[in-house]
Every structure is written in structure tokens, then in C-alpha cells.
């Protein structure tokens, strides 16, 4: 009852949101986690699964062979498509976008998607085999992410891709549900994982991140290679207190306090949720109740969801308070990770009117 059903965002916020920042602890590492079966049943899991992928590709009895297109950045859409064609024509089953290939000025995503679809189709015609390319749908907002996924579907592509740590579990769960509904395979990249899992004495082991992804949703997970350059607190909507129920009673309490004091009052209603759709639903309900401010966990929820919510807030005239749950997993260790000033600057660009920064004294460590 302590966790919102189907929300990995809420689980991480609750389990690792603040404890890594306690000043009494010098090091802390989450090595493994076992989820109760009752919670697992509320999560969707992989949209399709391995067998569906093999059936769709008509390839059995061997590993599927693919590669990432290089150079990762800088090619025009046309030249990028040419490289995809040459790889698939040469015998690969799949090619994929690099994790940071989103929609830069030298290669807008629509242009890349169209040339890639053309390359895949030509390679299939010449080889007589089913081919595919992992089109990266990671974007600044959930709306843009879904737009890219829809366009990939219109082009007849069998698989898309998402950066689940930088994009966030909220966006990832929403995209996984979309993929299941639309029959599209979902490849997951783990960009930024090493900030969290690399240090042996601090952070979260990758097996935990992988288990969380398994519940959030993904048919494939990028795990690195055996050899190479890479080394192998907040209430949301738990059974004891559903968000609608909390929002309504809070709105009633705020209104009563305003009437009795003659002052304007407010409450930071936490709209962090398992998917972007649920997040926006909560924000809309807060607006309907006349509440002036809402709240979001921008690290566990992810920058994609946060940027989308910030744009919604600007459009609807709602203030946005940002909580930093799970920040200490990333910024606590003095020799590894990302300093909180960087996370704060990224939040400044993503969007937020207020940022929870902890206290000068108290249970949490501070500078």
C-alpha cells in the first residue's frame, strides 16, 4: 500500500529519493531489489517480448545481429540513410540510432526517419529478409516523443528506441504502453547509467536499474559489450490515499484557510506519475480545483516529463515546484557523478519555478 500501482517513478522516489543524502552516511549503494508479486502484477512489463520480436522478424535459432550507425552525429539525413542501407544490405538484421541522436540542426528527426525507412525498405527488397532500424524517439517533451513514435509507425517501422534514464521512467512507461497498443517493438538505451551505477561504494547497481526497466517496459535493453571502451519520499497515489481524493481534500482545506485568514494560500500538489498521461491528468485536475501550484520529481520523473509539464504550466498559468528526489545517488560522491549545480542548471533549462534544495542544517548533507 506504500507505492502507487505500476509506477516505478514512485518506487524510486520512495526507496532512494532522500536516503542517499543523509549526512550520517558517507557511502550507500543499492545492490539489489526484490519486488513483491502484488506490485509486479500492476506493472505492464515488456510491450511485446522476445518471441513476438522473432515472429515479426521471421528469424529463429540465432542471435539477431545489429550495429550502431557511426559517426553518431554530423551526417545529413540522406547520408545517414545511405549508411543504414549499406549495413542492412551487408547482412545485419538491425541498425540503430546513437543515444544522443535526437533532432539536431544538421539532421532533423523527420528527415532521418524518412531516409532510414527508405533504406530499410530497399534492403528488404534486395535481400528478401525482414530488416529494421531502432529510430530514437527520445525527445524534450512527452508530446514530441509520441509524435516521433507515431511517425515511425506511419513509415511502417517495426521498432523504436528510448533513452530511459535521461528520458525518465514516467516517459518510458508511457511509451511502452503506446508500443503495446500499437504493436511496435521498443529498444531501450541506458544513457547516463554509469553516473548512478559505476562507483563500487555508492549509487545503484545496474541490476536494479534493469529490473526497474523490466517493470516500466522495454523489449530490449542496451547493456554494453563484453569487451570495449565501456566498463562491463514523496506521496503519489498509493492505495491508502488516491491522488484524486488527496487533491480534493487539499483544495477544500486551502479554500477554508483562505476564507478564515483572508490570505492567499497554496499547497504543492505532487503530479509525478507513472506515465505522462497520468501526470497531465493530475495537473489538469489541480487546475480545475483552482490550485495555483503543482509539484514534480524531476530526476525520478525524468527531464522529458519535466519539460513537458513545465510547458503545460506556462500555458495554463500554474506555478511549478520541483523536488530533487534521488539527486544524491548522482551528486553525493566527491569523486564520481554529477555536481548538483549541473543538475540545477539542467532543471533551470527544463523548467521549474522553484527547486527543493534541502536545508542548511538537518538530516540531509549540504555544502
User: Which residues are catalytically annotated?
Assistant: 70, 189
Residue 307 near residue 350, CB atoms below 8 Å: yes
- Rounded Cα gap, residues 191 and 231, in angstroms: 13
Question: Nearest-CA neighbor of 186 among 197, 173, 199, 198?
Answer: 173
- Rounded Cα gap, residues 287 and 301, in angstroms: 20
Residue 69 near residue 83, CB atoms below 8 Å: yes
- Rounded Cα gap, residues 355 and 324, in angstroms: 7
- Using CA atoms of 20, 25, 31, 35 in order, give the dihedral in degrees to the nearest 10: -50
Question: Nearest-CA neighbor of 278 among 174, 181, 147, 350?
Answer: 174
Rounded to 5 degrees, what angle do the CA atoms 296, 297, 302 make? 105
In terms of Cβ atoms closer than 10 Å to its own Cβ (0-12, 13-18, 19+), residue 123 is buried
What is the DSSP code string of 213-239? HHHH--SEE----SSSSS-------BT
Interacting residues of 340 by C-beta distance below 8 A, sequence separation 6+: 324, 327, 331
Cis peptide before 71 (omega within 30 of 0): yes
DSSP, collapsed to helix, strand or coil, labels residue 193 as: helix
Residue 137 near residue 88, CB atoms below 8 Å: no
Pairing of strands 94-96, 132-136: parallel
Residue with cell 525507412: 117
Please report the sign of the dihedral spanned by the C-alpha atoms of residue 180, residue 204, residue 135, residue 144. Answer: positive
Amino acid at each position: 500500500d506504500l507505492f502507487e500501482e505500476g509506477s516505478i517513478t514512485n518506487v524510486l522516489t520512495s526507496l532512494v529519493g532522500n536516503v542517499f543524502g543523509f549526512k550520517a552516511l558517507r557511502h550507500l549503494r543499492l545492490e539489489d531489489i526484490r519486488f513483491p508479486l502484488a506490485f509486479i502484477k500492476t506493472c505492464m512489463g515488456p510491450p511485446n517480448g522476445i518471441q513476438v520480436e522473432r515472429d515479426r522478424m521471421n528469424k529463429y535459432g540465432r542471435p539477431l545481429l545489429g550495429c550502431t550507425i557511426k559517426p553518431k552525429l554530423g551526417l545529413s539525413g540522406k547520408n545517414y540513410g545511405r549508411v543504414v542501407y549499406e549495413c542492412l544490405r551487408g547482412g545485419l538484421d538491425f541498425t540503430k540510432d546513437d543515444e544522443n541522436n535526437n533532432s539536431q540542426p544538421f539532421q532533423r528527426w523527420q528527415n532521418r526517419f524518412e531516409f532510414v525507412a527508405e533504406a530499410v525498405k530497399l534492403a528488404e527488397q534486395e535481400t528478401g529478409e525482414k530488416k529494421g532500424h531502432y529510430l530514437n524517439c527520445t525527445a524534450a517533451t512527452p508530446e514530441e516523443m509520441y509524435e516521433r513514435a507515431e511517425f515511425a509507425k506511419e513509415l511502417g517501422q517495426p521498432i523504436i528506441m528510448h533513452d530511459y534514464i535521461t528520458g525518465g521512467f514516467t516517459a518510458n512507461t508511457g511509451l511502452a504502453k503506446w508500443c503495446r497498443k500499437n504493436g511496435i517493438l521498443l529498444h531501450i538505451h541506458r544513457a547516463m547509467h554509469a553516473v548512478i551505477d559505476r562507483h563500487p561504494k555508492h549509487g545503484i547497481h545496474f541490476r536494479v536499474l534493469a529490473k526497474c526497466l523490466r517493470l516500466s517496459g522495454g523489449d530490449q535493453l542496451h547493456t554494453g559489450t563484453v569487451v570495449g571502451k565501456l566498463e562491463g519520499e514523496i506521496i503519489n497515489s498509493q492505495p491508502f490515499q488516491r491522488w484524486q481524493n488527496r487533491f480534493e481534500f487539499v483544495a477544500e482545506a486551502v479554500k477554508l484557510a483562505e476564507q478564515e485568514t483572508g490570505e492567499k494560500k497554496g499547497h504543492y500538489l505532487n503530479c509525478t506519475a507513472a506515465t505522462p498521461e497520468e501526470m497531465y491528468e493530475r495537473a489538469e485536475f489541480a487546475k480545475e480545483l483552482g490550485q495555483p501550484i503543482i509539484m514534480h520529481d524531476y530526476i525520478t520523473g525524468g527531464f522529458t516529463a519535466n519539460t513537458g509539464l513545465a510547458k503545460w504550466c506556462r500555458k495554463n498559468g500554474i506555478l511549478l515546484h520541483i523536488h530533487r528526489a534521488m539527486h544524491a545517488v548522482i551528486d553525493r560522491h566527491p569523486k564520481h557523478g554529477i555536481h548538483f549545480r549541473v543538475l540545477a542548471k539542467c532543471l533551470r533549462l527544463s523548467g521549474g519555478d522553484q527547486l527543493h534544495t534541502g536545508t542548511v542544517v538537518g538530516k540531509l548533507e549540504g555544502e
